[in-house]
Amino acid sequence: MKNNYKMSISYDGTRFFGWEHQPGKEWTIQGKIETVLAKMLGMEDGEIPKIIAAGRTDAGVHAKDMTINCIMETDLSPDEIKRYLNRYLPEDISVNEVKIAAERFHARYKALGKTYCYTLYYGDAKPVFDRKYVYVLEKKPDVEKMREAAKYIIGTKDFKSFCGNSHMKKSTVRMVDSIEIKQKGPYIRIYYHGNGFLQNMVRIMTGTLLEVAFHEYEPEHVEEIIEAKDRHFAGFTAPAMGLTLIKVDY
């Protein structure tokens, strides 16, 4: 029976070239999942089922709860699909839930919002067990300055200055409704929530906040960066390893 299946997945993006298929790149999240689904469905060589994701994470970015959907014809139950996928997928991809969704459910177009977390580390010791998931800073950041600067980002604005795609033809207007910066010991976590994010947007915002934290410019300068609508005015792109997609809202 053909159904629209909604799935929740987690992955460690360290050794992947991002979510989306790329020519000549075997190690993509999408590619690995579609290959296993094709095997499960008994498809012939060259045939693959099409899966739709809530977003496209960059190479090296992680996800705690990415939502995908796929229309498939199978006699397997959702639990059997989940077990099959987890048996044959690489150890750094986990399928956490599979359920039958409404026929018109679309993981990307039905998404109302997303939460990302960027994790920073500053301390005397090395984060040995977290080294793949944090950005280690060489000097102490001014967290209060970061919080002041974050206020200028919040709202519905044209975030072209924070877009890593210089050839972006679609609208670069997005809504960022909250930025929460939490510090616990040597870990600093920045939580971003919005209705959608441009390519590299969270990483560029993080790099910009860090430049404020290192006193390269004052928090209010962030407003000028946004008004410029030019990538060259914003801060550096923070490394992918520190970024994790936490949740997608529906």
Catalytic residue set: 58
* Interatomic CA distance for residues 156 and 95, integer angstroms: 34
Q: What's the maximum distance between 2 C-alpha atoms anywhere in the chain?
A: 60
**CA distances (Å), 219 to each of 23, 147, 175, in order?**
41, 9, 20
CA atoms within 13 Å, Cβ hemisphere of 195: 12
Q: Rounded CA gap, 66 and 82, in Å?
A: 15
Question: Could you tell me where the DSSP H helices lie in the chain?
Answer: 29-40, 78-88, 143-150, 201-213, 221-228
Which runs of E-coded beta strand occur in the chain?
2-11, 51-53, 62-73, 93-101, 113-121, 135-136, 155-158, 173-184, 187-194, 243-249
DSSP state of 22: B
Q: What whole-number distance in Å separates Cα of residue 53 and Cα of residue 91?
A: 20
Question: In angstroms, how far is CA 149 from the centroid of its own chain?
Answer: 22
